[in-house]
Every structure is written in C-alpha cells, then in structure tokens.
Amino acid sequence: MKALVTGGAGFIGSNFVRLTLAERPDVEMTVLDALTYAGNEASLPDDDRVTLVKGDIAEPELVQDLVAEHDLVVHFAAESHNDNSLDNPWPFIQTNIIGTYQLLEAVRRHGKKLHHISTDEVYGDLELDDPAKFTAETPYNPSSPYSSSKAASDLLVRAWVRSFKIEATISNCSNNYGPAQHVEKFIPRQITNVLDGIRPKLYGKGENVRDWIHVDDHNRAVWTIIDKGVSGETYLIGADGEMDNKSVIEMILEQMGQAPDAYDHVSDRPGHDMRYAIDSSKLREELGWEPMYKDFAAGLAATIAWYRDNEPWWRAKKLETEMKYERLGR
Ligand code: NAD
Ligand code: DAU
C-alpha cells in the first residue's frame, strides 16, 4: 500500500511514520510537508520506504499529482498551536481550511481513501465539575482561530463524503505527548526550560484540564480506524488521561529533581479552554482499540529522557520560541 502522509515531518506525523515502519511492512510512505517552523526533517527516519516531498498542501497541482500516485491519504498537516493562532490567524485559515479543501478535491477526482486527523478542541470546552465528556454527537463550539479552522476542515470532509461520496474517516484526539514535539507546546516547553535552568511557565492559575494521550496510542488508533472504520464516521480518540496543568508542571519538576513550586505564573491565554475530556467508547467498542500507555508518570519520564538525550533536535528552535513567548507576555 502507498500512503501519502501530509505533515509527516511534524510531531504526530513523524511518530506515525516511525510506527508504520515498525509495524506495517506492507506500507510505503510519501511525506508531503512544507517544513514550516514546526516541521523538522531530522524527525524523519532514513529508510527506503519513506520519501519526503517538500511542498504545500494548499498547492493544487502538486497535491493532485501526489494523490493520484497513492492509495491512501493520512492528513496530519496543519498549523497546530493555539497561541500562534491568537497572534496571527491567517496561516491557520490557509493551511487548515484551504489545504484540506485541496486534498479533498484531489481525493474526489482520483477516487482515493482519506483519513483526516482532527482535534477534540472542535467541541469547545467543559466545566471543571461537569461529569460530561465529548462524544461524536457533541455539538461543535470551537473557541480559537486554531480550533475553528480545524472545525471548518472537519465539516468540509463531512460534506465531501455526503455530497461527492468520497471514502473518508475523521478522528478527533485529545492532547498528545511523547518524543519530538515542538518546544512551543506545554510539556516540551517546561522540560526544556528546566534543562536550560529557566523556571517553567504556567498560564493563569493552572486549573485547566487536558486529557493526555501518548502519541503512539493516537497513531495506533489512526491505523485501527483506517483498517476497520466506516466511511463518513467520526471517532474520538482518548486514553482517560485528564490532569490539570499545575499537576503536570509539578510532576515534571519532581521527575527532574526540582522543588515542586519552582515555576512562574504568567498571564493567561485569551479565551483559554478550561477542560477537555474524551469519551472514546465508540472507538473501543466498535473497532476494538485500547491504549497501551496507561501510566502517565512513566510516559512522561520517557519523554523527559528523550529531550535530555536529543538536545541537538530541539536546541535550534528553543531560543526563537522563548523570544516569541516573551513578546506575547507568556
Ligand atoms: P505539528 O505542528 O507538530 O506538525 C505539523 C506539520 O505540518 C509540520 O511538519 C509542518 O511543517 C506541516 N505543515 C504545516 N503547514 C503545512 C502546509 N501548508 N503544507 C504541508 N505541510 C504543512 O503538529 P502536530 O501536533 O503533529 O499535529 C498534527 C495534526 O494532529 C494536526 O492536524 C493537529 O490539528 C492534530 N492534533 C494534534 C494534537 C496534539 O496534541 N498535538 C491533538 C489532536 C489532533
Ligand atoms: O486537545 C488537542 C490539542 O492539544 C491539539 O489540537 C493542539 O494541536 C495541541 O497544541 C494541544 O492544544 P493545547 O492548547 O491544549 O496545548 P498546549 O500544549 O499549547 O497547552 C496545553 C495546556 O497548557 C493549555 O491549557 C495551555 C497551558 N500552557 C501552555 C504553555 C505552552 C501553560 O500553562 N504554559 C505554557 O507555557
């Protein structure tokens, strides 16, 4: 099988490529990635079964040609960071909406199968004391330019399935952690801060809850949906990993041998979603998926070890990232 993996030089996409090489001997992959500030060629393994094409998913001729040559499109490429979307929404509209549109048109024309990767943030947020979790029936209610652009892309996929009968599935996953995540994101930012002797930065009071899942659990779920999912269906991916941000920072500090209160409170993110929580029973019961990483502390320790061992991978991005946060006051 030949798979076109968009955004395969990013965090989740590059882990998908590694997992696929290890577990799917029948799959060859072309990574289509614009290598934006978030993409990193060094995240990709050097292997005969992986080819990198540097290019933009919003460029129609390139996308048409590549989709025609593949059996399956696994669509990870996106502008992915909420703080950046609040600073400058335009690249989110261009990549997440226009880019997804161009892929859909190519998939429609060439009759290929698509799996669209999305986020739980399309559902908005939950109150801290609300027993509810997101399901595929929860109404869309996105808060940020990032999450609204992802919501728009999901709706385009649904419309192309219904009106043009393309074969496509959608997954909405919660917060991923693991190796090779950009240092702008919460967990890698704090780990690399501690390694650099900088105090971790907690937005607001740190009561906000995220539902953490290891990136390999996400990517195994993606393969489960590609193998067994029903076209037109949406599957929520989550591993029951709810934790507030303050507790995560304290756990990072403890695991790195620091005092648990050795962090700074900084100004809050505008419109900051309070809580995400995924009900993944549809994926578990209908398709038989189960997470393998059930111990967040152990997964976090392995992630800390990865950043300790791979400084050259993140060093080049760290200074520019912290300069951006300084400008944003966070
Ligand atoms: P990332 O920012 O680490 O990687 C995105 C990749 O897309 C980069 O390699 C970048 O170069 C590439 N890219 C950006 N614009 C492009 C364009 N116009 N053309 C081609 N390539 C382009 O993101 P990530 O965290 O790996 O997220 C991947 C996908 O998973 C996104 O669709 C995101 O919405 C979704 N998602 C992420 C999480 C999470 O916790 N990180 C959770 C749920 C869903
Ligand atoms: O829920 C899935 C989403 O998870 C994905 O769709 C996004 O692509 C991904 O970036 C992530 O979004 P978040 O905004 O939840 O992740 P982020 O890592 O930016 O922040 C996680 C939480 O930590 C959030 O409540 C904000 C807070 N935070 C973040 C940073 C960078 C801090 O307290 N301090 C920080 O320095």
ipTM for the assembly: 0.99
Indicate the average pLDDT of the chain: 98
The active-site residue out of 121, 184, 211, 242 is 121
Segments in 165-213 forming alpha helices (H): 186-195
User: What is the whole-number distance in angstroms between the Cα of residue 239 and the centre of ligand 2?
Assistant: 17
pLDDT band per the 50, 70, 90 thresholds, residue 285: very high
**pLDDT of 236-246, one tens digit each?**
999 999 999 99
For atom 29 of ligand 2, the residue with the nearest CA is: 186
Q: Give the number of the atom of ligand 1 that is nearest the alpha carbon of residue 99.
A: 18
pLDDT band per the 50, 70, 90 thresholds, residue 319: very high
| % of the chain beyond a pLDDT of 70 | 100
- DSSP-derived 3-state class of residue 311: helix
The active-site residue out of 33, 101, 125, 146 is 146
**pLDDT of 201-259, one tens digit each?**
999 999 999 999 999 999 999 999 999 999 999 999 999 999 999 999 999 999 999 99
Q: What is the CATH number of domain 2-177+212-237?
A: 3.40.50.720
Look up residue 207 and give its DSSP letter. -
CB-based contacts of 323-328 (< 8 A; 24+ apart in sequence): 324/87, 324/184, 325/83, 325/184, 325/201, 328/83, 328/87
Q: How far is CA 238 from CA 203, 208, 228, 314, in A?
A: 24, 17, 18, 27
120 belongs to the catalytic site = yes
